Amino acid sequence: MKPEVEIYDTTLRDGAQAEGINFSAADKLRIAEKLDSFGVHYIEGGWPGSNPKDMEFFKQAARRKMETRQVAAFSMTRRKGIPVEQDELMRLILEAKTPVVTIVGKTWLLHVTEVLRATPDENLGMIGDTIRYLKDHGKKVIYDAEHSFDGFADEPEYSLATWQARKKPARIASSFAIPTVVGCRRKSPESRRWRNRN
């Protein structure tokens, strides 16, 4: 029976960004094994291609059998103007050979236009194309809706459109994550009602 609550741990990526932290691949494996012994369901191992240690961790983790965990690779959507099949990021994700991939997508229109320098429709296509491609390669995809509530507070219709982009035919992500570390106080009743329906 699938648990009602599943734990997704980001120690090996977010935790590694803390000042004074410098995990080796062996360090990451030991931490992953300890998290597995705690019963953690998903262990985010890092960003494929960001550094050699992360790729070595994914290589070693694929050879080890643990009790409960699934290792996840973290990355972003395909880049603007690059077909998903030709994007180097996608190749590195597949090389990591993890059963789970977490993809972060832009939900705040400000970030779409100022950071990605993309049009709103281009961003929706980047989200959908990436999820479809990874699902076609047998991956369980978790979609991480970045800055969800800031985006919803600024442009509710567009923010919801990015959430729905991952649900189009043949592009349905396995899971949907709305980060609440930043902006959770701005969560509106409308966003809660939409999340409960979907």
- Provide, rounded to the nearest whole percent, the portion of the chain with pLDDT above 90: 63
Q: How high is the pLDDT of residue 60?
A: 93
Residue 57 predicted with pLDDT over 90? yes
> Mean pLDDT over residues 27-33, rounded?
95
Radius of gyration of the chain (CA): 17
Of 18 and 67, more confident: 18
Q: Which of 16-25, 119-128, 152-161, 185-194 has the lowest mean pLDDT?
A: 185-194
If we measure between CA atoms, which residue out of 162, 74, 75, 173 comes closest to residue 110?
A: 162
> pLDDT for 84-117, tens place per residue?
999 999 999 999 999 999 999 999 999 999 999 9
* Contact call for residues 154 and 112 (beta carbons, < 8 A): no
- Give the integer Cα–Cα distance in Å for 54 and 37: 21
Q: How high is the pLDDT of residue 182?
A: 45
> Mean pLDDT over residues 15-43, rounded?
91
> Mean pLDDT over residues 130-158, rounded?
92
> pLDDT for 159-195, tens place per residue?
999 988 866 654 556 666 666 444 444 444 554 554 5
> Mean pLDDT over residues 49-63, rounded?
91
* Contact call for residues 57 and 46 (beta carbons, < 8 A): yes
Q: How high is the pLDDT of residue 117?
A: 95
> pLDDT for 34-51, tens place per residue?
999 999 999 999 999 888
> Whole-model pTM above 0.85?
no
> For residue 145, what are the contacts with CB-CB under 8 A and spacing of at least 6?
105, 107, 162, 163, 176, 177, 178, 179
> For residue 41, what are the contacts with CB-CB under 8 A and spacing of at least 6?
3, 6, 7, 8, 68, 69, 70
